[in-house]
């Protein structure tokens, strides 16, 4: 598999603050990565370093196996960090054609990309007249101009209203479906959960996990159960079952975390034999939020 | 190089303030020609500047470059704001992310400075040539092309001055403060001059010693490139002679001054680059 970006022992100190601490991970072509971490965990600093706007204190990173210098590589990258930055006195089209000049690509795709983000109608309005959502969409259009090998998004839905968040997510999903490699930094877990196949979890600049989303915690999943009557006996029975690690109650729902793998069919028939008729039974993986909390708690 | 120039030109082209200032600047450069129309009449005393010999070749090269250099402040505003705007709009960050290297960024600004200075020089050359051909008493080719070094000095002076503006724009990131900083620096140079006068006032040739030190400072060296042309004018001279004053000043462009200004230009651009390299954006 082709490595697009590789970080080795990256370090960044702002005075006494250790923003990025010995961070290493690789980005492979075709995957959708999420960088997860609470606010101030070093996500943006890491992206700033690989995007040539923040100087690293130590360590190395290389784009495309080191075949290109950083600024040459960035011409094949599309990136949005934090707030969209454009020239307020230029229109959308003028701003985008400036970016084409910097990236050294043709200006043919400007209209096409403006249509992707629904800004085509407003292409001749000055940037300063745009709402935040429109600015963010223009930023996405600019990042797509060169049909990038990798799209880097830092908190792309920050500060947007639900409508704007929804629009941006739809666009990201569309792009991911095309097979573009994406690196998405966010503290919004459901955002990452919905689109990412891999995650890198950082806290206080230290990497806690990097790998597939579903392998983040060694878990056999959990059952959600509901029963109309005789609940106390069901709880007792579940607690004594050998495949079940522990049982908790969340409002009306009983949550049974598994020690060993057991299918929903087996569980259902076992309980039926014991005389319990369930009104609700779901087997699922723990949510990313749960995994994330477990991970940050343990470390 | 052309790529970097077109990038920078694209940024300036749509900026209304920069466009207006540039138009005013080049308009004023052209209007140097209006000096020809200046006539004073105080009873018997008549002064018509065009007839007083200020448009004679080769003196016109000296006179016009000196006057034109005063107008450089208009372009300074354009240069400083094109630098500091990148900070206030945060587009510098975006430019780097889009794949411009920090070196290219500085170079694109420096090339623009050179382009502005070159266009100004050509402008002054054409305006002076036309004026001279109209009003000069001497129109021999050899005389017309003599003393053209004032145009070279003019070019170097503008490049040096704008590079200083560029550096201050990067250093303080706000256009108003950058222009203010240049003004403060001018005051500092003059305070230093005062200090030198005080320090060496026992000495016989005080002003010579002071000048020897002062010539190395950036703004002073830029001023020295083109010395004031008024006392060189024939009419002024003869008037002074009758009053018993005589001038022994040289007006030519010194190579050493050119070297000093070129050194400052290099230093300003180099320091701008180093500053940008060091900063986290």
Residue of A nearest to B281 (CA): A53
What does the block give as tokens for B181?
């900083």
- Which residue among A73, A87, A102 sits closest to B100, beta carbon to beta carbon? A102
- Residues in chain A within 8 Å Cβ distance of B277: 55
- Residues in chain B within 8 Å Cβ distance of A104: 3, 99
Q: Which residue has the higher pLDDT, A220 or B116?
A: B116
| pLDDT given at position A150 | 92
The number of beta carbons lying within 10 Å of the beta carbon of residue B190 is 14
A89 touches chain B (CB under 8 A): yes
| pLDDT given at position B246 | 59
| pLDDT given at position A47 | 92
Q: Is the model's pLDDT at B58 over the cut of 80?
A: yes
Structural domain count, chain B: 1
Q: Is the model's pLDDT at B6 over the cut of 90?
A: yes
What does the block give as tokens for B92?
């510098």
pLDDT tens-place values along chain A, 299 residues long: 789 999 999 999 998 888 999 999 999 988 889 998 888 888 889 999 999 899 999 999 999 988 888 889 999 999 988 788 999 999 999 999 999 999 999 999 999 999 988 899 999 999 999 998 899 889 989 998 988 989 999 888 887 888 888 888 888 888 888 888 999 988 777 777 777 889 898 888 888 888 888 777 667 788 888 888 888 888 888 888 888 888 888 888 888 888 888 888 988 998 889 888 889 998 887 777 777 777 777 65
| pLDDT given at position A298 | 63
**CB of B61 within 8 A of CB of B148?**
yes
Strand segments, DSSP code E, in A109-238 are 150-154, 181-186, 198-203, 206-212, 222-227
Say which range, A99-103, B124-128, B139-143, has the weakest mean pLDDT.
B139-143
| pLDDT given at position B147 | 86
A174 touches chain B (CB under 8 A): no
| pLDDT given at position B131 | 87
Q: Is the model's pLDDT at B271 over the cut of 90?
A: yes
Name the range with the highest mean pLDDT among A72-81, A255-264, B56-65, B114-123. Answer: B114-123
- Residues in chain B within 8 Å Cβ distance of A153: none
Question: Which SS3 state, helix, strand or coil, does residue B243 take?
Answer: coil
Residue of A nearest to B277 (CA): A55
Burial of A191 (0-12, 13-18, 19+ CB in 10 A): buried
A94/B104 CB distance under 8 A = no
B6 touches chain A (CB under 8 A): yes
Instruction: Tell me how far CA of residue A294 lies from CA of A195, A201, A222, A291, B252, in angstroms.
Output: 21, 12, 14, 5, 80
| pLDDT given at position B227 | 87
| pLDDT given at position A2 | 84
**CB of B74 within 8 A of CB of B28?**
yes
End-to-end CA distance of chain A: 31
A74/B98 CB distance under 8 A = yes
Provide, rounded to the nearest whole percent, the portion of chain B with pLDDT above 70.
89
Burial B203-240 (b: 16+ CB within 10 A, else e): eeeeeeebeeebeebbbbbbbbbbbebeebbeeeeeee
Beta-bridged to residue A224, according to DSSP, are A255, A282
Q: Which residue has the higher pLDDT, A161 or B223?
A: B223
A85/B94 CB distance under 8 A = yes
> Which of B232, B239, B258, B223 lies closest to B58 in space, CA to CA?
B232
Say which range, A184-193, B102-111, B271-280, has the weakest mean pLDDT.
A184-193
Q: Is the model's pLDDT at B244 over the cut of 70?
A: no
Cα separation, B223 vs B204, whole angstroms: 25
Cα separation, B150 vs B132, whole angstroms: 15
> Which of A99, A132, A71 lies closest to B11 in space, CA to CA?
A99
The dihedrals phi and psi of A280, each to the nearest 5 degrees, come to -160, 130
- The stretch B223-246 carries a mean pLDDT of 74
B93/A81 CB distance under 8 A = yes
Confidence of residue B235 (pLDDT cuts 50, 70, 90): low
The number of beta carbons lying within 10 Å of the beta carbon of residue B133 is 12
Instruction: Tell me how far CA of residue A282 lies from CA of A220, A244, A263, B256, in angstroms.
Output: 13, 15, 10, 87
B15-53 pLDDT tens trace: 999 999 999 999 998 887 777 667 666 766 666 766 777
B101/A83 CB distance under 8 A = no
Q: Which domain holds residue B263?
A: 2-278
Q: Output Rg (C-alpha) for chain B, integer angstroms.
A: 21
Q: Which residue has the higher pLDDT, B264 or A250?
A: B264
| pLDDT given at position A217 | 67
Which residues lie closer than 8 Å to A228 by C-beta, 6 or more apart? Answer: A277, A279
- Residues in chain B within 8 Å Cβ distance of A71: 96, 99-101, 104
The number of beta carbons lying within 10 Å of the beta carbon of residue A253 is 13
A 116-145: CB under 8 A from B:
142
pTM of the prediction?
Answer: 0.86
Domains and CATH numbers, chain A: 3-215 (3.40.50.300), 222-298 (3.30.70)
A72 touches chain B (CB under 8 A): yes
**CB of A256 within 8 A of CB of A222?**
yes
Which helix (H) or strand (E) segment holds residue A144: the answer is helix A132-144
Complex confidence, ipTM = 0.85
């Amino acid at each position: 598999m082709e490595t697009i970006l590789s970080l080795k022992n990256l370090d960044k100190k702002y005075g006494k603050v250790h923003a990025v601490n010995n961070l290493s991970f690789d980005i492979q072509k075709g995957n959708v990565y999420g960088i997860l971490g609470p606010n101030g965990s070093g996500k943006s600093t890491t992206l700033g370093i690989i995007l040539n706007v923040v100087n690293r204190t130590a360590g190395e990173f290389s784009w495309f196996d080191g075949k290109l210098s950083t600024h040459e590589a960035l011409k094949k990258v599309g990136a949005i960090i934090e707030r969209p930055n454009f020239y307020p006195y230029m229109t959308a089209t003028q701003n985008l054609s400036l970016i084409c000049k910097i990236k050294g690509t043709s200006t043919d795709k400007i209209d096409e990309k403006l249509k992707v983000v629904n800004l085509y109608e407003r292409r001749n309005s000055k940037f300063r007249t745009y709402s935040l959502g429109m600015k963010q969409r223009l930023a996405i259009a600019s990042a797509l101009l060169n049909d990038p090998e990798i799209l880097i998004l830092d908190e792309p839905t920050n500060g947007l209203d639900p409508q704007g968040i929804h629009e941006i997510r739809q666009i990201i999903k569309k792009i991911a479906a095309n097979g573009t490699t994406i690196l998405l930094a966010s503290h919004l877990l459901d955002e990452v959960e919905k689109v990412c196949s891999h995650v890198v979890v950082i806290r206080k600049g230290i990497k806690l996990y990097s790998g597939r989303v579903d392998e983040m915690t060694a878990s056999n999943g959990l059952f959600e159960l509901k029963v109309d009557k005789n609940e106390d006996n069901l709880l007792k029975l579940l607690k004594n079952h050998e495949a079940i690690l522990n049982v908790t109650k969340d409002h009306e729902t009983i949550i049974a975390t598994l020690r060993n793998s057991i299918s929903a069919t087996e569980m259902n028939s076992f309980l039926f034999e014991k005389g319990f008729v369930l009104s609700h039974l779901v087997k699922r993986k723990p949510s990313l939020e749960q995994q994330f909390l477990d991970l940050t708690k343990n470390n | 190089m052309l790529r970097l120039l077109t990038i920078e030109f694209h940024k300036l082209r749509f900026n209304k303030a920069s466009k207006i200032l540039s138009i005013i600047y080049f308009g004023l450069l052209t209007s140097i020609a209006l000096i020809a129309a200046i006539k004073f009449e105080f009873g018997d005393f008549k002064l018509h500047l065009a007839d007083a010999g200020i448009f004679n070749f080769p003196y016109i090269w000296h006179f016009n470059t000196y006057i034109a250099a005063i107008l450089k402040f208009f372009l300074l505003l354009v240069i400083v704001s094109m630098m500091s705007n990148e900070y206030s709009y945060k587009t510098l960050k975006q430019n780097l992310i889009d794949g411009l290297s920090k070196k290219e960024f500085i170079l694109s600004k420096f090339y623009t400075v050179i382009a502005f200075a070159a266009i100004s020089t050509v402008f002054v050359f054409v305006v002076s040539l036309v004026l001279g051909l109209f009003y000069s008493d001497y129109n021999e080719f050899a005389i017309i092309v003599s003393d053209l070094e004032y145009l070279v000095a003019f070019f170097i002076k503008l490049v040096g001055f704008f590079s200083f503006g560029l550096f201050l724009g990067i250093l303080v990131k706000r256009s108003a403060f950058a222009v203010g900083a240049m003004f403060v620096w001018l005051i500092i140079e003059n305070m230093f001059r005062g200090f030198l006068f005080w320090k060496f006032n026992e000495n016989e040739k005080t002003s010579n010693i002071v000048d020897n030190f002062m010539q190395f400072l950036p703004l002073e060296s830029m001023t020295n490139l083109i010395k004031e042309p008024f006392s060189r004018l024939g009419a002024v001279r003869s008037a002074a002679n009758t009053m018993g004053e005589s001038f022994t000043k040289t007006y030519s462009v010194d190579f050493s001054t050119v070297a000093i200004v070129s050194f400052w230009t290099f230093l300003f651009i180099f320091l701008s680059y180093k500053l940008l390299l060091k900063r986290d954006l």
